[in-house]
Amino acid sequence: MARIILHEVGLRDGLQMERAVVPTEKKELWVRELLACGVEIVQVGSFVHPEKVPQMADTDELFRRLAGRPAGGVLSGLVLNEKGLERALACGVEMVCLGASASETHSRKNTGMGSDEATTRIVKTALAAVAAGKKVQVSVQSAFGCGFEGPIPEARVLAMVRAYLEAGLRTVSLADTAGHAHPAQVERLFGELLRLDPGLELAAHFHNTYGLGMANIFAARRAGAVSIETSFAGLGGCPFTKVAAGNVATEDLVHALQRAGEREDVSLARLLALAREVETFFGRPLPGFLLRTGPIGGARP
């Protein structure tokens, strides 16, 4: 299997659920530490209206502060529309992430649009990002189920991916926004995507709502996913789904990979120290397992 690319989304998917606003200076330190740990991609934030998600109000400023960082790693940002892309391009985003939901209900709660309209808009915006020379990843949210609608027809997910492919967009993520996925379903659906186009660069984002996040990650990997989105300390969840819960913790995934002799280039000790700092900042226990148990055999420095 291919080397797993680590895409840290704690600064965006993790913080969007939190009421306590993290100071920009603290966010900047966390991003720099994640890059120093060896994480390839860090999602710095999303370009949404600050009244809708107050935690993301400083995303533009944060990207500007990080512009002069040491070389290494990629900074990504989530964009939902044309205005968001304008902001992203203006502040130096390196990788643009966009997505539409396969759930009509979730789509309308998240964007005010139905799935078809949102997909059309995302494709248009993604092509503008490509034209601007940015690496672009498009996603299907609620790809495995929805807290409001229940099961999502796989045909609907595949139709959205076909729309991406027809536009020439070949870095595609499937997101389990509601946490409904199970491993057999994950392997089947990712396999269907590769049958559409064997050259797809596949990413996966699983919420751990019902405890299957890590199992689903490895199922996605067996089926061909190469990039995995996780969050430090397991923080996060989508505020626009019915049952919001955290992500798989980045340090837990790295620990699992290193137990198998992989990703030994990543500093697990520093990742775990950062997760503890995040937990201390919010003043409550967070979902990451290593925060409670520590790593087997000690953490790689």
120 within domain boundaries: yes
184 within domain boundaries: yes
298 within domain boundaries: no
| The pLDDT value given to residue 148 | 83
91 within domain boundaries: yes
| The pLDDT value given to residue 244 | 53
8 Å CB contact between 205 and 139: yes
| The pLDDT value given to residue 143 | 95
Q: Could you say which residues of the chain have pLDDT below 50?
A: 239-243
* Amino acid symbol at 161: V
Spatial separation of the C-alpha atoms in residues 231 and 236, rounded to whole Å: 7
The rounded percent of the chain whose pLDDT value lies above 90 is: 80
Residue that has been written with the tokens 């729309």 in this structure = 163
The contacts of residue 211 (CB under 8 Å, 6+ apart) are none
Spatial separation of the C-alpha atoms in residues 260 and 257, rounded to whole Å: 5
| The pLDDT value given to residue 240 | 45
Tens of pLDDT along 64-93?
999 988 888 999 999 999 999 999 999 999
300 within domain boundaries: no
Backbone angles phi, psi at 51, to 5 degrees: -75, -25
The contacts of residue 41 (CB under 8 Å, 6+ apart) are 5, 6, 7, 8, 73, 74, 75, 76, 95, 227
The contacts of residue 56 (CB under 8 Å, 6+ apart) are 12, 15, 16, 45, 46, 47, 48, 50
Give the CATH number, domain containing residue 52: 3.20.20.70
8 Å CB contact between 115 and 107: yes
Residue that has been written with the tokens 């990997």 in this structure = 221
The contacts of residue 64 (CB under 8 Å, 6+ apart) are 91, 92
Spatial separation of the C-alpha atoms in residues 254 and 153, rounded to whole Å: 32
299 within domain boundaries: no
| The pLDDT value given to residue 246 | 78
What residues make up the domain containing 216? 5-293
| The pLDDT value given to residue 245 | 64
Positions marked catalytic: 238
260 within domain boundaries: yes
The total domain count for the chain is 1
With b for 16 or more beta-carbon neighbours within 10 A and e for fewer, the 64-102 pattern comes to ebbeeeeeebbbbbbbbbeebbebbbebebbbbbbbbbb
The contacts of residue 112 (CB under 8 Å, 6+ apart) are none
| The pLDDT value given to residue 242 | 44
Closest Cα partner for 147 from 209, 100, 98? 209
228 within domain boundaries: yes
| The pLDDT value given to residue 299 | 81
